[in-house]
Each structure stands twice: as C-alpha cells, then as structure tokens.
Amino acid sequence: MGELDTVTSAKPVRHGAGLWLSHRFSASWGWARLLLIKNWAVVAGTVLSLIGVLALGVESLGTGVIAVVLAVVGLIPLVSDWVKVRQELQDLYSLDHPVPDVVLEGDWQLVRCAQGRVVTSPSVDRSLDRPVAVDSRPYRLPPDLAAVKPTVIALARSQRSRTAAPPFDGLNVGLCDDPDPSGGAVRLQPVRYFDMMASNYLAGHQWLSRSLGRPVADITQRLISDDGRLIALNSTGLGNQVGVSTVALTTDGWMLLVHQGVASRSSAGLVAPSGSGSLEPLDLVGRDRLSDVVAAGMERELREELGLVSTAMRDVRIETQVRGYGRWLEKGAKPEFYGVTRIHAELRDLDLRIDVSERQFVTRHVPIRPDDVRRLLAGERFEALGQGVPSVPLELCLARWRESQSF
C-alpha cells in the first residue's frame, strides 16, 4: 500500500470525550505549527540554552536572569510572526468570484443541485473498481497559496461561530488524478486540512490585499482553462481532498439522514447523507482497490455520524456500494464519491445517538419513512418531504441510487 500506511494503524473509531480533547489539542497544535515551522531553529536553540543553564544549577540570581533573558530573546521571532499575521488579517479581504460553468467533453455532464454544481461522468461511474497507488509524498501548497495560508486560517478561526470548535489540521487523503474511464490505477497522497483551506476551499472568492492593491489568491485560474474547460486534477496544484458520502437504508425500509451542524465546512444547516466527510489514511489500511477504500471511508463516516459506535452496534453488519464520482465546483472542483449503504438491521434495533465528538457536525438525525423513501426512488424532490434543504452530496447520492433502482 505504500509508505502512507506507516502513519496509520488498524484502530477503532475514536469517540467521546477523548476524541473531543484530541480535536482541541490538534486545533491548537495546527495553529502553532504555522508559526513554529519558520522558527524551529530559534525555538530549539532557546530550549537547549535553557537546559544548559539549568544543568549548571541555579546557584545565583544572575543565572536565573540569564535564563529568562534567553527565553525572551528566543521567542521574539515567534511573537513577531504572530503580530504579522494579526496585521495581515486587517489587510486581506475577499470578494465573491463564483466558479463559472465549464465546457465539457465526452460524456461529462454538469449536474445542478439546490446548493451547487457537480461535474460527473457515467463512464467513470461504471469504472470505479480499479487499483490505487499511494504516493508517500504529502501535498505541498504552491508558493502563492502558501504565502496566504497563515492569514486565511487565522481569518477562518476569527470568523467561526462561538459554538463551533476551531479548525484542526487533520491528515486526510487527496486524489492526484481524475479516474480514466478506460481504467488504470489512480494515485492518492496525504493532504492536510489547513492546506485544503488555502487551496480548494478558496474557491468562489478572490482574495485581495489592501496594501498591495491587487489580488493575492484566486484559484479560478487553476480550475478553468482559458477556453473554459475544467483542468485535470493533476494540473490544478490544489489539495483535492477526497470527499465520501453515502445514504443508508435499513432492512425495514427507513432511510437515515443527518442535519448538519454549525461546524460543517460544506453543508452547515442542510440535510446531508447518512455519512459524509473526507477520506482518511485509516481507510487505506489493508485495501488496494479504489472502491474498497472509498467504501471504507463512507462506512466510517456513517458509523460516526449515526453514532453506531458502541460494542453492540459495531456488530451490526453494513454493506456499501460506491455508485458515483464527481467534482464539486463550489469546493474548488474537489473529488467526491457517492454511495448507498445497507444496514442489516431494523430501525427499532439501532441505537442511534449523537456522540459528543460529533455534536459540532450533527444537529439531529433525520429518519425518512419507507413511504417517503419510495417517493424519492420514484423521482420526488427531497424538498417535497418537508424535511429541509438537501446538501449537494445528498442530492448526488439520491440520483445515483435512483439510477440503479436497487441496492
């Protein structure tokens, strides 16, 4: 599977207070590493100096003063960077710059949803069972995007809801190549969430500097060529983190969906699939086929968001089919996969819950009655059910499910 396996282990999905504390630590560390990455040598020198002074023994007031002075001097560059980022927050601003429609070739088609647009291909959807090749080298931001990354992240942190946890720099998986309809392996690579915030998630806006009087970041040119065509994944220079979504059906005909919470990056306040999120390195362990990797990610997200994480619920068998692929234009044309999951249990036998680690992302569960499920299968728009507004991934999952009319 490649060297990426070395950063993962076959461990159960974490949940509860432990995961919440882990997320809080990751958020703080992810922010600190933005400042430490340029000053690691200075910080390391300061720490070693302090250790050296303390090793000699604090035998006089002078020794203690020297230690304090060394610490202060060593932290000056770190404080300077912090001040610089705060100043840049006042300098950087954005204007709406929606991603335009694209010129399509072959059987690629533009699917318009209530909340966005996705480019899909029936021939690609039929050829998703293919090998994967894992590139151990992590994604690196291009210089122009790397330059605005600290400010973009700081701005996102300052604008978040009071009830939302700060973003954390989690490790996910990016897709390097568009799947070729004729088959062949696709490449995957590690990508950090903060790099996504400074690449794909800049879509829809043009970022400008007041002091420079010009744009400093606009990824539209990385997505759309001069003749209006969608640029291939391997040429965008963006993170292209893989999104995975699936709708779940119980054996007695219920569909289980979720209402997204305030911390959801893509679909806050909307009704979303049963499981929706991003592919993680854990999903690669022991798998070398794209459909198997993606299905594993879908099932992990489903168990987390429906709360099927207790010992008893882990014994409930679930089975997932990956039905489709697309590139979501409003999210920087990032790759997305869509599926359908069968939960081999009746609704009354499921212990659905919203774990503490998911309360930022899931407001409530939305069970859809069997009669309404049949209406959806017959082509009824989701909005007609009176359950809320569907997210883009939910609309794509339902569309792919209708096409086969079966599980």
Distance CA 364, CA 112 (A): 26
Q: What is the DSSP string of 7-36?
A: G----PPP-SHHHHHHHHHHHHHHHHHHHH
Distance CA 28, CA 335 (A): 28
Task: Check: CB of residue 208 under 8 Å from CB of residue 152.
Answer: no
Give Cα separations from 292 to 185, 295, 331, 337 (angstroms): 13, 5, 24, 12
Q: What is the reported pLDDT for 404?
A: 78
pLDDT tens, the chain, 407 aa long: 443 433 333 333 344 444 444 444 444 455 455 555 555 555 565 666 656 655 655 555 455 565 566 556 555 665 655 566 566 667 778 889 999 999 998 999 999 999 999 999 999 999 999 999 999 899 999 999 998 898 888 777 776 666 666 778 899 999 999 999 988 999 999 999 999 999 999 999 998 888 888 888 899 999 999 999 999 999 999 999 999 999 999 999 999 999 998 777 788 899 999 999 999 999 999 999 999 999 999 999 999 999 998 889 999 999 999 999 999 999 999 999 999 999 999 999 999 998 887 888 889 999 999 999 999 999 999 999 999 999 999 999 999 999 877 66
Phi, psi of 303 (to 5 degrees): -65, -40
Residues near 389 by beta carbon (within 8 Å), at least 6 away in sequence: 114, 115, 269, 270, 271, 383
Instruction: Write the burial class of residue 36 (CB in 10 Å: 0-12 exposed, 13-18 middle, 19+ buried).
Output: middle
Task: Check: CB of residue 290 under 8 Å from CB of residue 129.
Answer: yes
Record the pTM: 0.80
Q: What is the reported pLDDT for 265?
A: 75
Task: Check: CB of residue 327 under 8 Å from CB of residue 119.
Answer: yes
CB atoms inside a 10 Å sphere around CB 65: 10
Query: Residue with structure tokens 């309809």?
Result: 181
Q: At what angle do helices 17-56 and 61-91 cross, to 10 degrees?
A: 140
In order of their start, the domains of the chain are 12-93 (no CATH), 97-407 (3.90.79.10)
Query: Residue with structure tokens 């709406």?
Result: 96
Question: Exposed e or buried b for every residue in 207-220, given b needs 16+ CB within 10 A?
Answer: bbbeeeeeebbbbb
Q: What is the reported pLDDT for 266?
A: 81
3-state secondary structure of 271: strand
3-state secondary structure of 303: helix
CB atoms inside a 10 Å sphere around CB 294: 26
Nearest to 275 by CA among 303, 310, 308: 303
Q: What is the reported pLDDT for 83?
A: 61
